[in-house]
């Protein structure tokens, strides 16, 4: 999980929280649960911090009439589910004080310049919350409505096709005319569609030029648009293999499913501008968009790995299979960043290891740094440029960091890991990696018992 921006929604964790929040049955309970985690004693990991801050910001949006946000924003949509009260605002104000305190991982990870920007955003959230406390009656945000789809007549191959378009998805209706229809009512409502994800920037302007038709209500309400809009491949060290996920679009409600559930659905890959005209021309000739079948989990994994092989070659430079055998990773001075990296990456809840070679090698390298700093790795194997950082680091390495390093090593050693996969064409080095990573894990485990 990375910090991509200084605001309350500047992390993957914050965005994940909003995605889940849009579907929860009890929005207030979800907000209170996020706030409560930061009120507990102990060290608060960055995921917890951002979820609590996101919860505070959503309450501030709801209590200030959406100030600073547009009704089309997903944050506004999420906040519109809340009905704030003074008790909730008081709880948010107390939680804000913990976002950058000494028990916050966010406080440990940000530099001085980014801290100033974060403090500015926190102050803005605080102002809106305090303004809400002064209200006699809280405003109700106008719940955003799903935009009606626009219908267009599209000329292709000497024929006119009718398409519906909502700025992200395009539906080509199975209706063909020799001349442009005068109204959408001429299109039978049972001429149903094939939906695919469309990234055709400029479609609106071009469709405007060739004629826009108003959609009949039957076309936008009687049909539940269903398609696979996205699929991905991740890994899970708990499962020991690659995990694939597929998302269905049901009237703009995105739901995640497994392959067995979705393999019969139409799969709609991204359509780029240069492909769009050819696709419509092909539809004019054949009567079908020719959508590919849903990719299987094996195909997703192979496609991902094949696409990354060229980019990964430089990271494999070096000899041997130890944590310091890939010198590209520490070519620059990393002393300032090393401890924040360890705290961020070497965590027992980090399960995304196994899908990105640079990340896996970085995690392997950090586990080696932890082991070397506590004497669980031969000092003579540590590059000279790294030796000066080991002694200062020793005082900051505790059981949590050692446990995290053991967990990460388990991740990069299991079947979900990319490292042994990409080394398959170099059996000696692959064997060296497996031997040294296993030995490193055993040595760290022994240091916890010692």
**pLDDT tens for each residue of 56-94:** 999 999 888 887 777 767 788 888 888 888 899 999 999
| pLDDT at residue number 186 | 65
C-alpha distance from residue 128 to each of 8, 31, 65, 281, 415 (Å): 14, 17, 10, 53, 49
Q: In this prediction, what percent of the chain has a pLDDT beyond 90?
A: 16
Give yes or no for residue 369 having a pLDDT over 70: yes
| CA 1/CA 241 separation, integer angstroms | 21
| pLDDT at residue number 206 | 47
Give all strands of the β-sheet with 226-236 in edge-to-edge order. 226-236, 241-250, 253-257
Mean pLDDT of the chain: 77
| pLDDT at residue number 96 | 92
Give yes or no for residue 228 having a pLDDT over 60: yes
Give yes or no for residue 266 having a pLDDT over 80: no
To 10 degrees, the CA torsion angle through 116, 121, 123, 127? Answer: 160
Main-chain phi, psi angles of 211, to 5 degrees: 120, 125
Give yes or no for residue 214 having a pLDDT over 60: no
Which of 154-158, 267-271, 390-394 is least confident? 267-271
Cβ(38)–Cβ(52) under 8 Å? yes
Cβ(354)–Cβ(237) under 8 Å? yes
Nearest to 218 by CA among 164, 159, 180, 176: 164
Q: Is 309 exposed, middle or buried (0-12, 13-18, 19+ CB in 10 A)?
A: exposed
3-state DSSP: the chain helix, strand, coil percent, rounded to 5? 50, 15, 35
pTM of the model: 0.46
Q: Each residue of 94-109: pLDDT tens digit? A: 999 999 988 888 888 8
| CA 239/CA 354 separation, integer angstroms | 12
| CA 210/CA 221 separation, integer angstroms | 25
Q: Where do the H-state alpha helices sit in 357-426?
A: 357-373, 387-394, 399-413, 419-422
Give yes or no for residue 251 having a pLDDT over 70: no
| pLDDT at residue number 440 | 94
| pLDDT at residue number 51 | 92
Give yes or no for residue 164 having a pLDDT over 90: no
| pLDDT at residue number 145 | 46
- What is the mean pLDDT of the segment spanning 120-129? 90
Cβ(322)–Cβ(381) under 8 Å? yes
Q: Each residue of 420-434: pLDDT tens digit? A: 878 888 899 999 999
Cβ(185)–Cβ(212) under 8 Å? no
Pull the structure tokens for residue 96.
């804000």
The 3-state secondary structure of 316-336, one letter per residue: HCCCCCCCCCCHHHHCCCCCC
| CA 99/CA 78 separation, integer angstroms | 21
| pLDDT at residue number 262 | 83
Which of 243-247, 294-298, 375-379 is least confident? 243-247
Cβ(59)–Cβ(14) under 8 Å? no
Give yes or no for residue 338 having a pLDDT over 60: yes
Pull the structure tokens for residue 314.
């430089």
């Amino acid at each position: 999980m990375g910090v991509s921006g200084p605001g309350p929604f500047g992390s993957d964790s914050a965005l994940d929280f909003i995605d889940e929040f849009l579907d929860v049955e009890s929005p207030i309970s979800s907000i209170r649960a996020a706030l409560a985690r930061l009120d507990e004693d102990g060290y608060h990991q960055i995921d917890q911090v951002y979820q609590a801050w996101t919860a505070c910001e959503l309450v501030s949006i709801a209590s200030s009439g959406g100030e600073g946000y547009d009704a089309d924003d997903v944050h506004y949509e999420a906040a519109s589910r809340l009905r704030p009260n003074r008790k909730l605002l008081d709880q948010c104000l107390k939680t804000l004080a913990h976002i950058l305190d000494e028990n916050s991982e966010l406080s440990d990870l940000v530099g001085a310049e980014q801290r100033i920007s974060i403090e500015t955003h926190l102050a803005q959230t605080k102002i809106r919350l305090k303004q809400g406390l002064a209200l006699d009656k809280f405003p109700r945000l106008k719940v955003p409505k799903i935009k009606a789809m626009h219908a267009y007549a599209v000329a292709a191959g000497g024929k006119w096709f009718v398409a519906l378009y909502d700025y992200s998805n395009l539906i080509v209706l199975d209706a063909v005319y020799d001349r442009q229809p005068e109204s959408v009512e001429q299109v039978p409502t049972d001429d149903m569609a094939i939906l695919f994800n469309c990234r055709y920037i400029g479609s609106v302007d071009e469709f405007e030029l060739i004629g826009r038709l108003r959609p009949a209500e039957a076309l936008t309400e009687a049909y539940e648009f269903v398609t696979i809009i996205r699929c991905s491949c991740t890994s899970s060290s708990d499962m020991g293999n690659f995990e694939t996920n597929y998302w269905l679009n049901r009237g703009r409600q995105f739901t995640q499913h497994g392959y067995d559930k979705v393999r019969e659905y139409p799969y709609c890959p991204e359509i780029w501008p240069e492909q769009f005209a050819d696709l419509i021309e092909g539809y004019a000739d054949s009567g079908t968009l020719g959508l590919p079948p849903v990719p299987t989990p094996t195909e997703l994994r192979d496609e991902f790995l094949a696409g990354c092989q060229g980019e990964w070659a430089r990271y494999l430079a070096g000899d041997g299979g130890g944590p310091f055998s890939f010198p590209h990773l520490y070519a620059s001075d990393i002393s300032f960043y090393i401890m924040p990296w360890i705290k961020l990456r070497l965590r027992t809840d980090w399960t995304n290891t196994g899908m990105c070679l640079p990340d896996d090698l970085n995690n392997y390298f950090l586990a080696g740094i932890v082991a070397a700093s506590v004497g669980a790795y031969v000092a003579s194997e540590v590059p000279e440029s790294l030796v000066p950082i080991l002694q200062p680091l020793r005082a900051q390495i505790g059981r949590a960091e050692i446990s995290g390093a053991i967990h990460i090593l388990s991740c990069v050693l299991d079947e979900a890991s990319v490292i042994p996969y990409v080394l398959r064409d170099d059996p000696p080095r692959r064997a060296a990696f497996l031997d040294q990573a296993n030995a490193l894990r055993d040595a760290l485990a022994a240091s916890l018992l010692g």
